Amino acid sequence: GGNGGNKSSGASGGNGAAGEAQSSSAAPSAEQAAAETPVQGGELTYALATSPDTLDPARSGLAVASRVYRSIFDNLVVKDANNEIKPWLATEWSVSDDGLTYTFKLRQDVKFQDGTPFNAEAVKFTFDRILDPNTKASNSASALKPYASSEVIDDYTIKLVLSTPSRAFLVNLTQTTLGIVSPTAVEKYGDQFGKNPVGTGPFKFVGWQENADITLERNPDYNWGPETASNQGAAYLDKLVFKIVPEEATRIGSVQSKQVLAAETVPPQNIAALKADSNFQVLQVETGGLPYTLFINQNKEPWNELKARQALQYGVDIGSIVKTLYLGTYEQAWSALTPSMFGYDASLENSVQPDADKANQLLDELGWTVGSDGIREKDGKKLTLHYVDGSPNREKRNDIAVMIQQQLKKIGIQVDVEITKDVATKVFQNDDYDIYGNSQVNVDPNALSQFYHTAAPGVLGNIAHVSDSQLDQWLEQAAVEKDDTKRAELYKNVQQFIKDNAVILPIYVFPYTVAASNKVKGLAFDSVGYPQFGGVYIQK
Amino acid sequence: MVRTIIGRVLSSLLVIAGSSVLVFVIMYLLPGDPVDSLIDPASATPEQIATLRHQLGVDQPLYAQLADYFGKLLRGDFGKSLLNSEPVLPKIIEHFPATLALAAASALLSVIVGVLLGVLSAIHRNRPIDVIARIVGLLGISMPTFWSGILLLLVFSIHLGWLPAMGSDGWKTLVLPAATLGLIGGGFIVRMVRNSMLEVVNEHFIVTLRSKGLSERAIMYRHALRNALIPSVTMIGMLVGEMLAGAVVIETVFSRQGIGRIVADAIMAKDLPVVQGVIVFSAIVYVLVNLLVDISYSYIDPRVRRAA
Amino acid sequence: MRESATAKALLQKRKWELPALRSSGRRFDLSRLFAAGAVAVIAFIVLCAIVPQWIAPYPPTEMMTDSIMQAPSAAHPFGTDYFGRDVFSLVVYGSRDSLFIGLMSVVVGGLVGGTLGALSGYIGGRLDSVAMRLVDTLMTIPGILLALAIAAAMGPSLTNIVLAVAAAAIPGYARVMRGQTMSINGRPYITAARSIGVTRFGIFWRHVLPNSLSPLLVMSTLGIGSSILAGSGLSFLGLGLLKEIPDWGTLLSQGRGYLTVAWWICTFPGLAITLLVLAVNIVGDWLRDYLDPKKKEA
Amino acid sequence: MEPLLEINRLSVDFHTRRGPLQALSEVSLTIRQGETVCLVGESGSGKTVASKSVMRLIDYENGRIAGGRIRLGGLDLASLSQNELRSLRGKKMAMVFQEPMAAFDPVYTIGYQIVETIRRHDSKSKEDAWEHAVSLLDRVGIPEPRIRMKQYPGELSGGMLQRAMIALALSCGPELLIADEPTTALDVTIQAQILQLLQELKEEFGMSILLITHDLGIAAEIADRVVVLYAGRVAEQAPTAELFARPHHPYTRGLLDSIATLDTEKGEKLHSIAGSIPSLTALPNGCLFHPRCPLATDKCRSEAPPLVARGEREWACWHTEELLKTTKGNKRSGGLDAASTAVPPDGALTATSPSSSQELLQVEGVRKYYPVKGSLPGRKRAYIRAVDDVSFSIRQGETFGLVGESGSGKSTLGRVLLQLEKATAGRIRFDGRELTDMGGTSLRSARKDIQMIFQDPYGSLDPRWNVGDIVGEPLRVHERLNASEKKERVARLLESVGLDASYASRYPHEFSGGQRQRIGIARAIALNPKFVLADEAVSALDVSVQAQVVNLLQELQEKLGLTYLFIAHGLQIVRHLSDRIGVMYLGKLVEIAPSHELFLRPAHPYTKALIASVPSADLGAKRERITLQGEIPSPARPPSGCRFHTRCPLATARCREEEPALRAVDPEHVVACHYPL
Ligand SMILES: Nc1ncnc2c1ncn2[C@@H]1O[C@H](COP(=O)(O)OP(=O)(O)OP(=O)(O)O)[C@@H](O)[C@H]1O
Ligand SMILES: Nc1ncnc2c1ncn2[C@@H]1O[C@H](COP(=O)(O)OP(=O)(O)OP(=O)(O)O)[C@@H](O)[C@H]1O
Ligand SMILES: [Mg+2]
Ligand SMILES: [Mg+2]
C-alpha cells in the first residue's frame, strides 16, 4: 500500500521539546525574535570548537561536521519535537506489512545546488554509495542498516528494501549522515567530495580553509524546507561562515570581542557571565540519544558482582559532580536514555541517591575490608578501579574522573585514572578498563541495543559486557515492535534493568550551548540539537 | 663558496631523509591505528577494519611502508592523508604561508626587540635599563607560551578590543601570536646579544677604535654590535626551529591556520603521511634557513668567508 | 708652542658625555642580588617538593565542593579551584612533579646527549660524522613535535613525559658537549698528558671530561627551565598526565579555561612556573659567569 | 727643545671588586719632539697602563688618574673630557698595539678602518681619504696597497697587519706615536723590518715615539732615552748610552745582566733577578725592589728611595754608589752574583765533548704533510708540507737547538719526534729502538724516556688539577706508588725545580709565569727521562725569568744527564743553551752546525739574515742591518727549487730550479745551499 497514512513513529514518549532552543538571555529571546520580521542578507560568523573531518555525510563521524553540513544536505524525512516523522524531500511513504520495504514518493521541485535535479536515482545513488565499501562510510552505513537495496519505481518514487525489519529505520533516515548527495558532484569530486559537498540544503558550500573557516552561502532556489523549520524558503542570511576555534578562551573571547557573532560549546563557567551581559544571548538545547554514561566492565573482578557495582552506584555522588563541574548548566542523567528520547523512563529520576554507608556495607559484605591506608583489601589485593577516559578533556569528563577518584576513596576504593588518546586500543581492543564513559547522539532508542545487547554489533560493542537473556529479548522485541506503547514499555524495562543491576552510572545530559550576539535572531535547533540556520537573520 | 653550498645541500638532503625515516619509525611505533578515527567503533566489524587497513596500506611491515613512502617521495608524491584522502603536499602548501608569516613576524619582532634591548642592556650594564631588559628577556623565556598567549588575548582583544582574538587573515591577526612567540625569541636574543656585546667590548680592537678617537656611539653600533651579532645570527637560524615548534601551540591558542596545528592533529590521529610531509617540509625549511644563515654569515663575518 | 686654537676651543665646550661601559666594579652589584634571590626561590620550591605537608594548609586533593572558585582570601591565599581544592596547597604539592620533570629530563637528556657529544668529539672520525648527522637530523625536527610524537606513542606517564622532553633536548647537549670536548682536546695540557703516556681513556676521563663539563652544567641549569616549559606545553596539547596531584603545567593548562571567571586558578601555577624558570635561568647565568675562567680571573 | 709630552708625577688607580689598586705611582717622564723614548720593565710593571693613561684610555677600564699631570703640546690631558680627548686621539697622538691580529676589527676591511680614522679627524672626501690611505699603506711597505685596502684583517699576515696598523696610526699625522710592544708578536726578521720602518717614519714625519718593550735589545737600538719601570714606579731613566753603560739601579742592572747576548757561551750561568715582580695588591714596604735586590739593606726595607735627578738621569735607589762600584765598564760578566740560583757555574758541563758520545735520537727523512681542508674529493689533494724530508741526529747528553721563523715547522717536527703525531714518512730511532713502528703499550712505556716542556706554561697545565697531581701524573701512569711515596717524590721534584714543596696543593692559576714553567719542567723530569723536548719553553717569559728557567734547564741537564731538543725563535737563548743548532726554513732543515760555528760562520744566507735581525743590547756593536725582505711563503705552495730563493739576496736561476741538498762544508757543519757563504 502506498499511501501516506502509515507515516510516522507516532506517540511521543519523551518529555523534552528539543526543537526549540531554550534561550536564557535577558534580552528578547530567539523565539520572540522569530516573530519579528526577518531581515534579508548579512553574514553569520559562527565559531566551532573543533574542525569537521569531512563534509561528506556518508563519511563523517563527527557531530561538528553534522552541524555544518546539516545546512547543505536535506534528508528524506525529518523528526519533529514530538519524535514524530514528518516529510521533507519525501512527501509521503508507506511500509510493507512485513516491514521489509519502504516506498517513498519524492518532491518534484527540488534541485541540487549544482543544478542536478533531485530524483529517485539520486536517493538510490546516495544509499548505494554508503553500502559501497570503497566509500569508507562506516558511520552512515550503521545508520542505514538494515537497508539492502533499492529500486527506482519512477523518477519520483523509490522503494527501499531491508534485509530485516527495523522500527528504527525510518527514524534513522532523519539522521544527517543519511543526507542526500548530488550524484554528479560525487562523480566529479570522487574522494574529495568531502571538501566539495553538494546537496539540496538551504546553504551551498563555498569554501573551506582548513583549520580556519568554512564558508557557505544562501541557496536562493531553496523552498523545500520541512515543516519543522521556521523558514521553509530560502535562507535570510547571504553567508554563513564557520570559524574553527578550538581554544575555549579564544572562542568565547571572539564572541565577546565581537569578532564572531556566535560561538558553540560555551563552557559552563562562562555561561553566567554571558547571560548577565545584555549584549549576548545563551542558547541551550539538549542533545538526544544516550547521555554521558560510565560503563562498569563486568568482565573484571570484582565488578562482575552486583554488590560491588551497587557500591559504586551509592558511592558516587553524581549530583554533586554535575553541580560542581557544570555549575547548574547541565542536567544530571538518570537513565540510559536522554529525556527527549522516545521511551525514556522518567520514573528513574531521583531513584538513586548517594549513600556512603550503604556502599560501605555492600563492600563489607563482599569481604573487602578497609586497610591501613584507607583502601579496602581482600586476600591481599587492594580494591582498585581502573578508570579510563579519553583526551582531551571534553565536556570536563576528565574532571569527573578526578572527582570520582576522590569520592570513591572515601569508601575505600582506589581509583587509577588513565587518560589516554588511544581509547580505541585500550578499551575496544584490549578490554583494559573497569570503567569507561561514553555517550551517543541518536534519534531512536534502538541505540540501546548497540550498547546493552549481548551480541552488540561493532567494535565498540557492549562496553559494560552486560549479558542477560531477558535484556536481549526486550531489545530484540523493541527493535521490531510496531505498537509504540508496547515498544516504549519494552525500553522502560530495559532502562529499569540497567539501573537495578547497576550496569552503568549515568552522569549528565549534554546541552549544546551557543553564545551569540543579541543581533542574531531566529537561531533554532533540530530534534537532535543541530542548529538550523535557514531561519537565522541578523538584526541591524 | 659554491662548493661548500653544494656540499651543504648534499648533507642536508641526507639529514632530511634521516629525519623523515626517524619520524616514520616513531609514528610506526605509535600505538593505535589511523583506522580508529575513520570508523565508528560502534558499528564497524573487524573485517571492515581489516579491509580498511589494507586499503590504507598500514597493515604492511615497516620496511615495506618506508620503501613505498620513499619511492613516492622521490617522485614528488607526498602521499594522501589517511583520514580524508587529501593529498598532503597541497595541504602543506596551503597552510605553510600562515605559519611562515607567523614565524617571520615573530622572528622579526624578536630580532628587533632582542637586539635593541640586548645592546642597551650591555651598554648600560647594571643600570636600570639593563635590569629591565634582562627581566623582560628572562620573562620571555620563562613563561609558557599558551599562558602568555591567553593573557595577551584577554587584555588586548577581550578587554581592550584592539586586536582580533583569532584567525589568520590580515596583519592584525598576526600581532598577538607574533608577540607571544616573539617574546621567547626576543628573550633568547636579548641574552645572547648582551653577552656577546660584553665580550666584544673586552676585545683588543675596541681599544684601537678608542685610540683612533671614534665616538662611543660609532664604536658600539658600528663595530661592537656587528661583531656581537655574528654569534646571534646562528641563534636566529636555530630560532626558526623554535618558531616552528612554537607554532604548534600558538596556532591552537589563536586559532590560526598553519602547519603546526596540522601536524599536532595528525600526530594524535596517527595520520602518518601528513606528519611525514610536514616534518620533511619543515626540515627542508630549517635546513634552508640555516643555509641562508651560513651564507649571510659569510657576509657579516669575513673570517668565515675565507674559511669557505 | 703648538697649542692651537682648536685645543682652546675644546677646553671650553665640555659637554655631557655618553656613559662609558663599565664593568660591575664599584657599583652596587645587581646580578649578585638577583642570584641570591633566585637561590632563595629555588630553595623554597625544593622545600615544597620535599615536605609539602609542612607548608600546604590543606591536603591537595581535598575537594570542598561547597566553596568552589573562591577568590584568594586569608583561608585560601591562592583561592580555590573548580573542584573546591585549595590552589595554594595544589601549587605546593605540584612542585614535586614539576621539579621532577625539569630535573630528570635534564639529567636524562644531558646524560645521553652529553655522552654522545663527548664521545663523538673525542673519538672523532666516522663515529663523529655518524653521530653528528644523527644530531642534525634530530635538530631538524622541532623539539616539541618530537616530544609530542614520543608522548603520544608511549602514553602519558611521568616517565614518558620526562623521556619525551629529554629526547627533544638531546641534540642541543650533544652539540655543546662535542664542541667543548673538541676544544679541550686541542689544549696543550692534553698534549702534555699524551706525551706523558696517559692512555686515551685516561686523558678523556681525567682531563677532557672534567674540563668540558661546565658549559654542559650551565646548559643543564637553563635546560631545567625549558624542560618544565616543554612539559607544560605537552599538557596544553593534551598529552600531559593526570595524576591525583597535578604538576604545575597540568594545573595551568587545566585552569586556563577559567581565566576570565576565576583568574587565580591558573595564574598562580603559571607564576610558579615562571618564577622557577626565571630563578633557574638567573642561577644558570650566574653559574656561567662563575665558571667562565675569563671572568673569574678578571 | 720644548718637550712634546710631559708626564708629571702621574698616579693611576683602578677600581676593582676588592677596592682601588694603584697601578702607577708618581711616574714622570718627558718626550721631546723627534725623540724616541723606550719604556721597559717586566710584565706587569705598568708599561701599558702608562701608555693608555696618556691616551686616557684607562677611563674605559675603571681606571682613574689619581694624581699628576699629563701635558701634550701644552694641553692638560688629565683634565680634558672624553669628548675633547676623542678629537685628539688618532689626530695628535696615535697608538700601535702588540697584537696586530687582535687590534683590527675583524669584520671591516683594512681600508675601511683607515678611512674611518682619516674622516673622523680630517674633513676629507671619501675618495681623498681612500687615496691617502693607499699612499700610507704604500709608504709602510705593503705591496699592492690597493688590493690590501679591500682585504680583511684575517687575510693578512701578522707582519703586514702591523704595517697596516702603523699606517693607521700615521693616518692623521700624529705628533706622538705610542707603540706598545709593536714587535713582540712577530718573527725576528719581521721585527727588524718593523723597527727599521718606525725609525724611518719618525724622521720623515718628525714624530716623537714612545716605544714600550721588554726587550732591552730593541731599546738599545732605537731609543734616545730609556725609562725603566718597576711595579708602577720609575726605577731609573737615562739616555740610552748612559743607561746601558752605567745602570744606576740594581733592577736595571739585573735586566741587562739577564740578557743572554750573542756572545755568552754555552754552559755559562745566566744572570737572573731572583723572584718575580710583586703583585700590586701586595706591594712590599720601602723600596719595592728590595725583596729581589742583592744590595738590599734595612733601609731599603723600611724606606722608599726618592727619585734622584742628575742631569739627564733619574733613579730611585739608596745604593747607587755601591752598585756603580761593582760595575766594570759595560761588560756584564761578574755582575751581581747574589741573585743567581744555586748551582755554581763550574766547568763540568763544558768538559764533556758531546760530539764524541753516541747518538740518542736519529731522524731520517721525516715528513709531515697535512691535507688542506675543503678540497673536493676527486681532485688531487693539496697538502701543507709542514715538515719535508728532514734528517738529523741528536747525541747523548747534548742540546740540539732548532730555530727558524714562525711556520717553518719546528713544532710540527717536535710533535712528530715525540710520536704525538704520526709522521707521513721517514723513520725515527730513539735509543736504538724504532719509534715509528711502535704503537699502543710499547709506545706508552717508551714515553717514560721522552718528555716535553711546552711554550705556554699556563695552557699546558690542567687548570682543574692541583700542582701535586699535575707533577705526579707521570708517576701515577708509569709507576705504582702509594700516596705517601708519591707525595714524597712530588715534593722532591718541586724542590729540584726551585719551588716550595708546599705548593703541591695549589692550582696553576695561583702562580706566576716562571713558576708555572717550573711546574711544567718538574712534570717533564718526573720519570727521569733521557730526552726532553723544549718547544719555546722560555719564549713567553720575561727576560729575568727566562734567565732563571734557562739556568734551571742547564742545571738539570747536568744533574740528570739529559739530552735536549730546544726549539726557539730567540736566537740568543738557543745559542746560549745549545751545542749544535739546526736552522729550519719552510719545513726544510737548511743548516746544522755547532752553535759557535753557526754564529761565527753561518753558511746559509737565511741563517745569516736571522742572526743579523737580532737586536743587540750591546751598544758598541750597532751593526749594519741585513734585514730579510718579505715574509715566509705558505707551506701549502712552497717555492720551487731552493725554498728560500724568493727572499734570498743571492738567489740565481739555479736556486729557482734545483733544490739544494744538505752537504758538509765542515765535518760538523752541513748546509743546504748552492752557494754557501
Ligand atoms: N683595568 C685594570 N684593572 C685592574 N688592574 C689593571 C687593569 N689594567 C692593568 N691592571 C694592572 O696594572 C698592572 C700593570 O699592567 P700593565 O698592563 O701596564 O703591565 P705591562 O707592563 O704592560 O705588562 P706586559 O708586559 O705584560 O704587557 C698589572 O698588575 C695589571 O694587573
Ligand atoms: N694540525 C695541522 N693541520 C694543518 N696544518 C698545520 C697543522 N699543524 C701545523 N700546521 C702548519 O704547518 C706549518 C708549520 O707549523 P709549526 O707550528 O710546526 O711551525 P713553527 O715553526 O713551530 O712556528 P711557530 O714559531 O709559530 O711556533 C704551519 O704553516 C702550520 O700552519
Ligand atoms: Mg703591556
Ligand atoms: Mg711552534
Atom of ligand 1 nearest to the CA of D229: 21
pLDDT above 50 for D538: yes
For chain A, how big is the Rg over CA atoms in Å? Answer: 24
pLDDT above 70 for D357: no
Q: Do D460 and C6 touch (CB under 8 A)?
A: no
How much is the pLDDT for C24?
A: 40
Contact status, residue A401 vs residue A387, Cβ threshold 8 Å: yes
Structure confidence by residue, pLDDT tens digits, C86-108? 888 888 998 888 888 888 989 99
pLDDT above 70 for C8: no
Q: What residues have their beta carbon closer than 5 A to ion ligand 4?
A: D 411
Please indicate, yes or no, whether residues D370 and D316 belong to a single structural domain of this protein: no
Angle between helices A318-326 and A397-410 (to 10 degrees): 140
CA within 13 Å, CB half, D429: 14
C22 touches chain D (CB under 8 A): yes
Q: Do D90 and B211 touch (CB under 8 A)?
A: yes
pLDDT above 80 for A385: yes
Chains D and A touch (3+ CB pairs under 8 A): no
pLDDT above 90 for C149: no
Let me know if residue D651 belongs to a domain. Answer: yes
Which of D314, C258, B251, B94 lies closest to A244 in space, CA to CA? B251
Distance (Å) from CA D593 to ligand 4 centroid: 21
Structure confidence by residue, pLDDT tens digits, D271-300? 778 877 888 888 888 888 888 888 888 888
* Mean of per-residue pLDDT scores for chain B: 80
pLDDT above 60 for D28: yes
Q: What residues have their beta carbon closer than 5 A to ion ligand 3?
A: D 48
For A37, other C-beta atoms within 10 Å of its C-beta total: 6
Q: Do D473 and C193 touch (CB under 8 A)?
A: yes
Let me know if residue D206 belongs to a domain. Answer: no
Of A251-255, B61-65, D364-368, D429-433, least confident by mean pLDDT is B61-65
Q: Do C18 and B122 touch (CB under 8 A)?
A: no
Distance (Å) from CA D46 to ligand 3 centroid: 7
Please indicate, yes or no, whether residues D327 and D387 belong to a single structural domain of this protein: no
- Confidence grade of residue A9 (pLDDT, cut at 50, 70, 90): very low
Of A497-511, B23-37, C61-75, D51-65, least confident by mean pLDDT is B23-37
Let me know if residue B106 belongs to a domain. Answer: yes
A114 touches chain C (CB under 8 A): no
What is the CA angle C241-C244-C249, rounded to 5? Answer: 45
Structure confidence by residue, pLDDT tens digits, D59-113? 888 888 888 889 888 888 888 888 888 888 888 899 998 888 888 888 888 999 9
The Cα–Cα gap between D47 and D229 comes to 7
CA dihedral D637, D642, D643, D647 (to 10 degrees): -120
pLDDT above 70 for D438: yes
Let me know if residue D22 belongs to a domain. Answer: no
Single-letter residue type at D674? H
pLDDT above 70 for A275: yes
Q: Which CA distances in Å does D449 have to C196, D435, D476, D491?
A: 9, 12, 15, 21
Give residue ranges with CB within 6 A of ligand 1.
Answer: D 14, 16, 21, 23, 41, 43-49, 61-63, 214, 280
* Mean of per-residue pLDDT scores for chain A: 85
Task: List phi, psi (to 5°) of C180.
Answer: -65, -45
Q: Which CA distances in Å does D643 have to A85, B237, D637?
A: 106, 46, 10
Distance (Å) from CA A164 to ligand 1 centroid: 102
Segment C250-276 shows an average pLDDT of 86
Let me know if residue D215 belongs to a domain. Answer: no
Task: Determine if the peptide bond prior to A392 is cis (ω within 30°).
Answer: yes
The Cα–Cα gap between D84 and D70 comes to 15
Structure confidence by residue, pLDDT tens digits, D607-648? 988 888 887 766 555 555 556 777 788 888 888 889 998 888
CATH number for B239: 1.10.3720.10
Number of Cβ pairs < 8 A linking chain A and chain B: 143
User: Which of B22, B40, B74 delimits the end of a domain?
Assistant: B74
Structure confidence by residue, pLDDT tens digits, A114-134? 999 999 999 999 999 988 877
Q: Do B144 and C236 touch (CB under 8 A)?
A: yes
- Ligand 1, atom 9, lies closest to the CA of D49
A384 touches chain C (CB under 8 A): no
Q: Do A273 and C261 touch (CB under 8 A)?
A: yes
Residues of chain D in contact with residue C189, where contact means CB-CB under 8 angstroms, are 459-462
CA–CA min distance C141, chain A (Å): 22
pLDDT above 60 for A86: yes
Please indicate, yes or no, whether residues D586 and D438 belong to a single structural domain of this protein: yes
Segment D569-573 shows an average pLDDT of 79
Segment B98-113 shows an average pLDDT of 87
Let me know if residue B83 belongs to a domain. Answer: no
CA–CA min distance B152, chain A (Å): 11
Q: Which ligand approaches the C-alpha of residue D281 most closely?
A: 1
A393 touches chain C (CB under 8 A): yes
Residues of chain A in contact with residue B253, where contact means CB-CB under 8 angstroms, are 247, 250
Please indicate, yes or no, whether residues B44 and B175 belong to a single structural domain of this protein: no
User: Which of D129, D155, D173 delimits the end of a domain?
Assistant: D173
ipTM: 0.78
Distance (Å) from CA D411 to ligand 2 centroid: 7
How much is the pLDDT for A262?
A: 93
Of B10-24, C176-190, D29-43, least confident by mean pLDDT is B10-24
B162 touches chain A (CB under 8 A): no
- Ligand 1, atom 27, lies closest to the CA of D43
- Confidence grade of residue D37 (pLDDT, cut at 50, 70, 90): very high
Q: Which three cell numbers stand for residue D527?
A: 720519570
How much is the pLDDT for A13?
A: 32
Identity of the residue in A212, A249, A450 whose CB atom sits nearest the CB atom of B153: A249
In angstroms, how far is CA D211 from the centroid of its own chain?
A: 16
Give the residue, out of D366, D368, D387, D411, with the most ligand 2 atoms within 8 A of its beta carbon, to mutate for a pocket test.
D411
Domain of D636, in residue numbers? 359-396+404-449+581-615+625-671
- Confidence grade of residue B79 (pLDDT, cut at 50, 70, 90): confident
What is the CA angle D246-D251-D256, rounded to 5? Answer: 55
How much is the pLDDT for D508?
A: 85
Residues of chain C in contact with residue D60, where contact means CB-CB under 8 angstroms, are 20-21
Let me know if residue D76 belongs to a domain. Answer: no
Please indicate, yes or no, whether residues B149 and B257 belong to a single structural domain of this protein: yes
Please indicate, yes or no, whether residues D290 and D364 belong to a single structural domain of this protein: no
CATH number for D649: 3.40.50.300
Q: Do A249 and B154 touch (CB under 8 A)?
A: yes
Number of domains in chain D: 3
Please indicate, yes or no, whether residues D441 and D586 belong to a single structural domain of this protein: yes
- Of residues A30 and D315, which shows the higher confidence score? D315
The Cα–Cα gap between B240 and B282 comes to 10
Indicate the domain borders of chain C. Answer: 44-297
How much is the pLDDT for A506?
A: 93
Please indicate, yes or no, whether residues D382 and D422 belong to a single structural domain of this protein: yes
pLDDT above 70 for D475: yes
Distance (Å) from CA D46 to ligand 4 centroid: 29
Segment A469-473 shows an average pLDDT of 91
Chains D and C touch (3+ CB pairs under 8 A): yes
- Ligand 1, atom 5, lies closest to the CA of D14
For B79, other C-beta atoms within 10 Å of its C-beta total: 18
Chains sharing 3 or more CB pairs under 8 A with chain C: A, B, D
Distance (Å) from CA D406 to ligand 4 centroid: 7
The Cα–Cα gap between A421 and B101 comes to 31
Please state the pTM of the whole predicted model: 0.79
Number of domains in chain B: 2
Segment C219-237 shows an average pLDDT of 82
Give the residue, out of D11, D15, D47, D216, with the most ligand 1 atoms within 8 A of its beta carbon, to mutate for a pocket test.
D47
* Mean of per-residue pLDDT scores for chain C: 79
Segment C242-266 shows an average pLDDT of 83
Please indicate, yes or no, whether residues B254 and B108 belong to a single structural domain of this protein: yes
pLDDT above 70 for C10: no
Domain of B262, in residue numbers? 88-307
- Of residues A276 and C153, which shows the higher confidence score? A276
Please indicate, yes or no, whether residues B181 and B247 belong to a single structural domain of this protein: yes
Place of cell 552512515: A140
Let me know if residue D142 belongs to a domain. Answer: yes
Residue range C44-297 forms a domain whose CATH class is mainly alpha
How much is the pLDDT for A157?
A: 94
Contact status, residue D468 vs residue D505, Cβ threshold 8 Å: yes
Task: Determine if the peptide bond prior to B128 is cis (ω within 30°).
Answer: no
Structure confidence by residue, pLDDT tens digits, A196-235? 999 999 999 999 988 888 999 999 999 898 888 888 888 9
Please indicate, yes or no, whether residues B70 and B93 belong to a single structural domain of this protein: no
Exposed, middle or buried: residue D69 (CB in 10 Å: 0-12, 13-18, 19+)? middle
Please indicate, yes or no, whether residues D443 and D363 belong to a single structural domain of this protein: yes
Let me know if residue D68 belongs to a domain. Answer: no
Structure confidence by residue, pLDDT tens digits, A318-336? 999 999 888 888 999 999 9
How much is the pLDDT for C30?
A: 64
Please indicate, yes or no, whether residues D363 and D289 belong to a single structural domain of this protein: no
Identity of the residue in C23, C30, C155 whose CB atom sits nearest the CB atom of B131: C30
